[in-house]
Chains A and B, each alone.
Chain A
Amino acid sequence: MLELRSVCKRFPAVTAVDNVSFSARPGEVTGYLGPNGSGKSTTLKMITGLIGMTSGEILFDGGRIHRDLLNFKRRFGYVPEEPHLYSHLTGLEYLVMVGQLRGLPSKRTAERIDGLLQLLGLHGSRHSPLSAYSKGMRQKVLLSAALLHNPDLILLDEPFSGLDVTSALVIRNLLKEMARRGKVVLLSSHELETVERVCTRVVILHRAKVVADDSIERLRTLMALPTLEDIFSQLAVEQDPVSISRQIVDLVFA
């Protein structure tokens, strides 16, 4: 289980994450929601060790991750928000390099890479440099790299961006299946409809703080609202979208 306890991240001018506590359990896909700038990506970067915390602690399976970060890195797979890859490498070379960096046995990794590329429809372009890949293809490479070592914890930051409908459906089901097989899945996304279909539980951030942490069903009942979009609007949307859009049009026409 992944557990965050009173995690804070303060930058000189702003508090990006303020006293955030929640847990993501095995067998569940936990949705991590919030408006732009609410601290979702920062939280994921802190979990991966890409940036440090100002205070608080993060635990995985009861142990503090920073006590043995190297060992923790062996156990998670991460899909970042932006598909930044070494574009001078081919898709295959990139995945082989990730496998080597993770110290995976080469023969088994090669088979796994081959399988992942086949299933995700990248096998034909595996020898093309990543600079020639579309955004969706890059996203699939990132996902393959994150799953290559069969991680216990899967962290995904906007994994559906740039994906076509079929691929999005595949990944949606893939996440459910991974959770069903006992993995901890933390999914950060703006696509509320997808989150509603995939996640069993959601954590909603607003202004760097957790404003909701419960199962979607329970939130629906408690707040007496029919959809996740309504719940999110109630908790994290401050301005009326209709009014804002009207103001924009007025401004442009003025």
Chain B
Amino acid sequence: MVKTQFRILYRQFLFRIVDVELLSAQGETSKLLGQFASLLVFLGMIFSFPLWALTGDDLPARARLLASWELEHFLIATTMLIVGLFAVLSWDSTLPDQRDVLVLAPLPVRASTMFLAKVAAIATGLAVTVAILNVLPGIPAPLAFAPLNSGLIGLPRSFAAYWITIFAAGAFILCCVLGLQGLAAQVLPRRQFLRVSSFLQIAAFCLFVSAYFLQPSLTSLEALTAAENQYWLACLPSYWFLGLFQQLNGSMQPALAPLAVRAWEGLAIAGSATAFVYSLSYFRMLGRIAEEPDIVPRFRRWRWLPGLGGSLETAIGQFSIRTLLRSRKHRLILAFYLGIGLALTILFVGLLVNLQQPRVGSVNILWREPNAGMLLSSVIIMFFGVLGTRVGFAMPLDLTANWIFRVTPVGGVTECLQANRRALLVLAVTPVWVGSAVIFLWLWPWWPAVGHLAVLAILGIAAAEVALAGFRKIPFTCSYLPGKSNLHLTFWLCVLALGLLVDQGAVLELHALWHPASCAVMIAILLIALALARKRTVVQTKSEALEFEDAPPPAVMVLGLHQD
């Protein structure tokens, strides 16, 4: 009986990790999971290429050692990032919710059975994520990382070391997130916990993304032994697991030994503390949910929102603002993109400081003169702000409630495009522009600051136009149809290409800002680009009916070579 209950609950909890409520009627959970899996396999495939290059004998021993440390650390850090994101995204499904209690409490199911099923489901989710990401790098990894002259035992040992380390690193991050969640649930009253949860999620998201992008590269013997780096090594768990891998692999350098010890200690502390706190909070929460409702609404002091043009624009704009501000899921999506943008910004500003500080002597002087790093940073934040908001627009909230938009006379796609445009401008472009205006007008001379703000405004509006091309929906109201992983991959490649373009653009802009004639030409060119982007968006979005169900891609592709 208990075994059957465990099996049923395990399956339920495992598939609850995915939020099926946002799926289109034509969408399947398996497709959504397949899409995630294909994305992870694709990443793994890219990671495996340099590993294959390391398996040859053409590299000198020292270069091979350094490259293998670099790659080992990269794979460990990436796995930790992915697991961290997985843990934050499945935050809501790790502790019991009201639905669990309402459905299961009247049934003769023991709380311990529910708990074990939940733990098993989380562990399965972790194992599957780690395994899929590492399935392709895991093939050449033993060949690349096995110590030279390790004999026959070297390969299987390296294979086992790789997988043990990867799973241990993933388990460590998952335990940290669960531990944090358990601790917060334990310390705070339930309603406070629910309120604080969204901030904790966003903080964890930003921490993982920033740590991944900003951690210094310390994969040489000199860097690992340097006294000034010991603080970083003590703070960055990805390096602890690099030490652990070396220990298990039989290729341990004395410099890495303390890191391996730290990895074991960290794993033991995180594992035992999480087991204690999480189990305690799980059982306590089961009791509390039955007694207390979810978040009790607060009286809202700030209710006023500005009009955004006509009544339709105002309705859609205000609905979008309220949804983005109040929906934890959507805030998390935006935080993810802004986190990446912020990390890249810090990276560029750091590079600028490192490169230019010797020339000017003081960081204060450096900030106060126009520089490419700050230009680039503001454009990147603008771009990721627009991108994150646009991705959020496509994710539905409360699909069953979208009938109100379908029975009211909201008009066609053209009317809604204007409303969506304004919503995107208000939610993404304006805050970034205003923030940038404060910083640039405060720090820089008047003329270059105004010039850049004009450029930033045009770029922001153009980014919003490009983002809305083909968007025939009202934000947050259309279901999501999985199975478009190729589209997402193309999209990220475009982001990469755009990054390179922005980099070159910042150098050109810096030059133009000192020359009014060049600045005028630059702004004219950008305005033309904006007009073209706007025209393209209008053409691509032309349709009679608004979409409330994400449609599958056409089975037959039309080339459109006919003449109308």
Binding site for B on A (CB under 8 A): 48-50, 70-71, 73-74, 76, 78, 80, 82, 84-90, 93, 97-104, 106, 127-129, 131-132, 145
Question: 9 pairs across A/B with beta carbons < 8 Å?
Answer: A49-B406, A70-B409, A73-B409, A88-B397, A93-B322, A99-B311, A102-B409, A103-B409, A131-B294
CB distance from A155 to the nearest CB of B (A): 9
Check if B231 is an interface residue, CB within 8 A of chain A.
Answer: no
| B315 & A87 in contact (Cβ 8 Å cutoff) | no
Q: How far is the CA of A145 from the CA of B401 in the complex (A)?
A: 13
Bound CA span A86–B406, Å: 14
Contacts A74-B409, A132-B296, A132-B297 known; A82 to B400 CB distance under 8 Å? Answer: yes
- A103-B303 contact, Cβ under 8 Å, with A73-B409, A87-B398, A131-B297: no
Bound CA span A128–B295, Å = 12
Given the known A-B contacts A104-B311, A127-B299, A132-B297, are A89 and B322 also in contact in the complex, defined by CB atoms under 8 Å? yes
- Which of A78, A97, A145 interacts with B315 by CB under 8 Å? A97
- Of A70, A78, A88, A103, chain B has the most CB atoms within 10 Å of the CB of A88
Q: Which residues of A contact B407 (CB under 8 A)?
A: 48-50, 73, 76, 78
Nearest A residue to B409 via CB reads A73
Give the Cβ gap from A146 to chain B, nearest Cβ, in Å: 9
Nearest chain B CB to A72's CB is how many angstroms away? 8
What residues of chain B lie closer than 8 Å to A131, measured between beta carbons?
294, 297
Residues of B within 8 A of A102 (CB): 311, 408-409
Complex: A85 Cα to B399 Cα, angstroms: 10
- In the assembled complex, B300 has its CB within 8 A of some CB on chain A: yes
Given contacts A100-B311, A103-B311, 18 further A-B contacts (CB under 8 A): A48-B406, A50-B403, A50-B406, A76-B407, A82-B400, A84-B398, A84-B400, A84-B401, A84-B403, A86-B397, A86-B398, A87-B401, A88-B327, A97-B318, A97-B319, A102-B311, A102-B409, A127-B299
In the bound complex, residues from chain A placing their C-beta under 8 Å from that of B322 are 88-89, 93
Whole-angstrom distance between the alpha carbons of A132 and B406 in the complex? 25
Q: How many residues of B contact A (CB 8 A)?
A: 30
Which residues of B are at the interface with A, using a C-beta cutoff of 8 A?
294, 296-297, 299-300, 303, 310-312, 314-315, 318-319, 322-323, 326-327, 397-398, 400-401, 403-411
A71 to B410, CA, bound (A): 10
Q: Please tell me if the beta carbons of B300 and A101 are within 8 angstroms of each other in the complex.
A: no
User: Per a CB cutoff under 8 Å, which of B294, B299, B400, B405 touches A101?
Assistant: B405
The chain B residue with its CB closest to the CB of A89 is B322
Smallest distance from the beta carbon of A74 to chain B beta carbons, Å?
5
Chain B residues closer than 8 Å to A97, beta-carbon distance: 315, 318-319
Residues of B within 8 A of A88 (CB): 322-323, 326-327, 397-398
Closest CB of chain A to B551's CB: distance in Å?
15
Measured between alpha carbons, how far is A85 from B401 in the docked complex, in Å?
A: 5
Are A73 and B408 in touch, CB under 8 angstroms?
A: yes
| Cβ contact within 8 Å between A101 and B312 | yes
Q: Whole-angstrom distance from the CB of A63 to the nearest CB of chain B?
A: 15
Cα A97 to Cα B404 in complex, Å, equals 10
CB within 8 A of A127: which of B300, B314, B319, B326?
B300
- Residues of A contacting B311 with CB < 8 Å? 99-104, 106
Residues of B close to A78: CB separation below 8 A: 407
Asked whether, in the complex, the Cβ of B297 is within 8 Å of the Cβ of A100, the reply is no
A88 to B330, CA, bound (A): 12
A86: nearest chain-B partner, CB-CB: B401
| Distance of B475 from chain A, by nearest CB (Å) | 12
Q: Give Cα distance in the complex from A99 to B307, angstroms.
A: 14
Once bound together, how far apart are the Cα atoms of A99 and B299, in whole Å?
A: 23
The answer to whether A70 touches B312 (Cβ under 8 A) is no
Q: Which residue of B lies closest to A106 (CB)?
A: B311
A167 and B378 alpha carbons, distance in the complex (Å):
56
Most B CB contacts (10 A, CB to CB) among A86, A87, A103, A104 go to A86
